[in-house]
Structure 1
Amino acid sequence: MTNNQNPLFQKIEKIRRRPNKVKDTAITLAHGSGGKAMRDLIDDIFVGSFDNPILSQLEDQATIPLAQLISQGDRLAFTTDSYVVDPLFFPGSNIGELAINGTVNDLAVSGAKPLYLTCSMIMEEGLPVETLRQVVLSMKTAADAAGVKIVTGDTKVVHRGSADKLFINTAGIGVIREGVSISAHQIQPGDAVIINGQLGNHGAAILIARGELALSTDIKSDCQPLNGLVDAILEVCPQIHAMRDATRGGVATVLNEFAQSSDVGIRLDEASIPIREEVNGVCEILGLDPLYLANEGKLVVIVPRSHAESVLSAMKSHPAGEDSCIVGEVIDSPAGVVLLQTAFGAERIVDMLVGDQLPRIC
């Protein structure tokens, strides 16, 4: 008789995997102690939600066959990020979905196919268990939508007041397709600058969700996975010169990094840049520039001018790129500088972000 046929084994396995093992209403220090309370938390909330053949082994590491990776490309992409956004839930998304999509997007803009993620949770004593369940469920939903698996992780609990409810760290690996080489050092004069939609929605949504302003709008975060959109781009143009998601620091910071890496200039056309009227309004009230506001579902693509229209068409055909548009071009000089041609015909320099417009934005 095998273990799977043994009634005692089946009973033990049923008990081990029974739902809702965690009866506490809030996280306690015992949930980070390494004992039964922590094991119940992991089995109930994390394994119960993220369950897949690799994670279910419950080892201290995820074991992935190299042959499986090699079959999909010739280079490994590896990234990590931490999420400390305040508040945990905001219009259009939450910290869990943000953690998954942010890591997926960091891999995707390198030309990689995102495959596996890790998840580490730093929880403050007193965090409601139901809040944790909602966050983890949203992570599972986001991972499924992006086609990735969460295969290993960690939990830590800190004393009340030592953190702010919940911090998440995710790391991810993916495989870069053969023949794809995306780097800011490849940008050339004449290249086109394309973005995939309205800017600043995430930053504005977080700002309003904090309740520090007497403002009421329907602005939602643009948090979304971009790997499907990147697939559509690379299908028509594997020769993408540069690509990056515009998170903290916004599009302005990304373009300044591009200009300095390739020692070129970049000129933007203000009239071509899509920004919601409500986002512009928030920025005017607070003296902010929407070009520096964070996004969580927007990327900047630099493509050879000869491929610009085909890339734009491919982007518009994907749900994450329906509002894509060409917003500027790469120029010879001034090298390392981003210029904005305003609606009045003048030009101004768009410099690197100085300071932090909105802390804890992601």
Structure 2
Amino acid sequence: MKPGKLPPELLEKLVLSRLPSKGKGVIVGPGTGIDGAAMRVDGTLVASSDPITGATKRIGFYAVHVNANDVAVMGAEPRWFLTTILLPENADEGLLDEIIEEISNEAERLGVAVVGGHTEITPGLDRPIVVGTMLGEAERLVSPNGAKPGDAIVMTKWAGVEGASIIAEELRERLAPILGEEFLERASSLIEYLSVLPEARVLRKFANAMHDPTEGGVLNGLHEMADASGLGFRVYAERIPIREETKVLCNYLHLNPLGLISSGVLLAAVPRDLAKKVVEELMARGITASIIGEFLAEDKRVLVEDGEERPAWRPESDELWKVV
């Protein structure tokens, strides 16, 4: 495809005709010659924007879910998605077809309307870049800095779940002779747990703060929550769930799963008297959940391992970058 914006006929064929553009409150959606979108909003508008620059596979999938997660942890229901797709000069229609298919499928799964964006062939790129913006509505805003001393820390899913999936996919040739294709398929499929929307829909009714830990894993996510609210924390290593696939990969590659990228995990500060009820409700919906510790008024951040309190280390970079 040639540099510049897609020709109108190609834009209609490959993009506009395939996106779920109808949804709650949509007044003006995407179209040829339309440079903006208009939506009718109820409640509080919450917005998030993130680029997908490092990945080369499933970038449409990531663009939708990464941005939806950031909206969901503030208590909002994702409603409207805009995306800018920049493709290298050597890109063919098949690459764009794949990205649009992923965006369309994942937006439909979440009940999100794609209301606008931009697609072009950009000189100077060596890989596709997808930038997403998600807008959502919140009846009850959950502030990122709302954690209170004494709040229980509720964690969903498993530490390092995204990292395990990436490692299995990126290092497949190296690891297959050792760990086997069947094992790597199971680990790779963990990417399907990337969305935190199911648990956020439960937790937003109770939580004082929520956060989805990404780079730096669960431990960095805890530090970020404590930073935002000016608190300390105490967490118990044995209470942090870790999938067997993640344990095997981390043991073999000498990585710490607590510092491994963990999109798909949701950390929530929940009033202590409600925490057990919340975990039971999550488990009843098939969502793995645990109370892994508590936030502290004092400026002390500790990880309890084998009955001993140690300073909770803060990853300088994600464990993933040691091997990928």
2:73 aligned to 109, 113, 130, which one?
109
Note the C-alpha offset of 1:241.
1.1
Q: How many residues align?
A: 307
In the alignment, the residues of structure 1 paired with residue 203 and residue 238 of structure 2 have an alpha-carbon distance, to the nearest angstrom, of 24
Highest Rg: 1 or 2?
1
- Residues 141 and 51 of structure 1, relative CA distance in 2, 3 Å threshold: closer
In the alignment, the residues of structure 1 paired with residue 90 and residue 52 of structure 2 have an alpha-carbon distance, to the nearest angstrom, of 19
Which residue is 1:340 aligned to?
A: 303
- Residues 339 and 151 of structure 1, relative CA distance in 2, 3 Å threshold: same
Note the C-alpha offset of 1:325.
1.2
**The residue matched to 2:117 in structure 1 has which SS?**
strand
Which residue is 2:87 aligned to?
A: 123
Unmatched segments (≥5 aa) in structure 2? 23-27, 177-183
**Equivalent AA in structure 1 for residue 152 of structure 2:** A
CA deviation profile, 1:49-76 (whole Å, cap 9, x unmatched): 1153543543111122xxx31xx31x22
Which residue is 1:258 aligned to?
A: 225
Unmatched segments (≥5 aa) in structure 1? 1-27, 89-93
Note the C-alpha offset of 1:38.
2.7
Which residue is 1:33 aligned to?
A: 4
State the superposition RMSD in angstroms: 2.3
Q: Which moved further from structure 2: 145-154 or 216-225?
A: 216-225
Q: Is 1:219 matched up with 2:193?
A: no
Which residue is 2:153 aligned to?
A: 193
Q: How does 1:1-362 map to 2 (within 5 A)?
A: 28=1, 30=2, 32-34=3-5, 38-53=7-22, 54-58=28-32, 59-64=34-39, 68-69=40-41, 72-73=42-43, 75-88=44-57, 94-159=58-123, 162-177=124-139, 180-211=140-171, 214-216=174-176, 217=184, 218-220=186-188, 221-235=191-205, 237=206, 240-319=207-286, 322-333=287-298, 335=299, 337-342=300-305, 344-358=306-320
In the alignment, the residues of structure 1 paired with residue 204 and residue 56 of structure 2 have an alpha-carbon distance, to the nearest angstrom, of 35
Tell me the TM-score normalized by structure 2: 0.86
CA deviation profile, 1:257-288 (whole Å, cap 9, x unmatched): 22223332211111111112331232233332
**Equivalent AA in structure 1 for residue 61 of structure 2:** E
Note the C-alpha offset of 1:338.
2.9
Native 8 Å contact 1:124 1:166 kept in 2: yes
In the alignment, the residues of structure 2 paired with residue 318 and residue 105 of structure 1 have an alpha-carbon distance, to the nearest angstrom, of 19
**The residue matched to 2:38 in structure 1 has which SS?**
coil
**The residue matched to 2:7 in structure 1 has which SS?**
helix
